[in-house]
Amino acid sequence: MEADACDFRLARQSRLVIDTGGMFEHLLSRHEQESLYACVHEHLAPGGTFVVSTVFPKPGGMRTVAEEHWSSYRRPEGHEIRLSGASEYDPVTQTCTETAYRRWTDVTGEETVSVAPLARRLIFPQEMDALLHYNGFEVFERYGDYDFSPLAGDSRMVIHVCRSAA
């Protein structure tokens, strides 16, 4: 099934609803976040568990960086792809837009550039606690990574395990 995570309807409920792919960070507005939470409530069985993960924001990710070379690789057709990227951080919206550039020269000698921007909203642990609370969830566990390590200042992830507060 393909659907918008903020607006879908299934004819069933589940005991577990999980987002481990960092999808939540791509919901850039509070309205989108709350719409997702409403869908989760609708599809979460009584006593069920909701797990949501985000990347732990770090100061290095909260800055604007000019385009820089990341890597290169060779396609099976033989041409080299040069991968670079830039990022722009907006502290008011807490949004970081990372733009990936892929460049290669085709068989005619013409350079082709593929541009792929990806925006994500940085969400801090206490902010996520409040969002979950005010949208009817009770957090009963938090982890700093998928290995169940405790959440700490140097954690890579912030994983919230919660249930409906109702």
Domain topology for 59-121: N-terminal domain of TfIIb (2.20.25)
Residue 139 reports pLDDT greater than 90 = yes
The closest alpha carbon to 91, from 115, 116, 125, 57, belongs to: 57
Strand partners, 74: 80
- Looking at every residue in the chain, the average pLDDT score rounds to 92
- Asked if 54 and 157 count as a contact pair (C-beta separation under 8 A), the reply is yes
What integer pLDDT is reported at residue 11 of this predicted model? 87
Burial class of residue 10 in the structure, from the number of CB atoms within 10 Å of its CB (0-12 exposed, 13-18 middle, 19+ buried): exposed
* Region(s) of the chain under CATH 2.20.25: 59-121
Query: What tens digit of pLDDT does each residue of 87-109 get?
Result: 999 999 999 999 999 999 887 88
- Asked if 24 and 125 count as a contact pair (C-beta separation under 8 A), the reply is no
User: Residues 55-65: what's their mean pLDDT?
Assistant: 91
How crowded is residue 23: how many other Cβ atoms within 10 Å of its Cβ?
14
Domain topology for 14-57+123-164: Rossmann fold (3.40.50)
Q: Where does the pLDDT of residue 20 fall: very low under 50, low under 70, confident under 90, or very high at 90 and above?
A: confident
Residue 77 reports pLDDT greater than 90 = no
Contacts of 131 (CB under 8 A, 6+ apart): 33, 37, 123
What integer pLDDT is reported at residue 7 of this predicted model? 85
* Region(s) of the chain under CATH 3.40.50.150: 14-57+123-164
Residue 2 reports pLDDT greater than 80 = no
Burial class of residue 81 in the structure, from the number of CB atoms within 10 Å of its CB (0-12 exposed, 13-18 middle, 19+ buried): middle
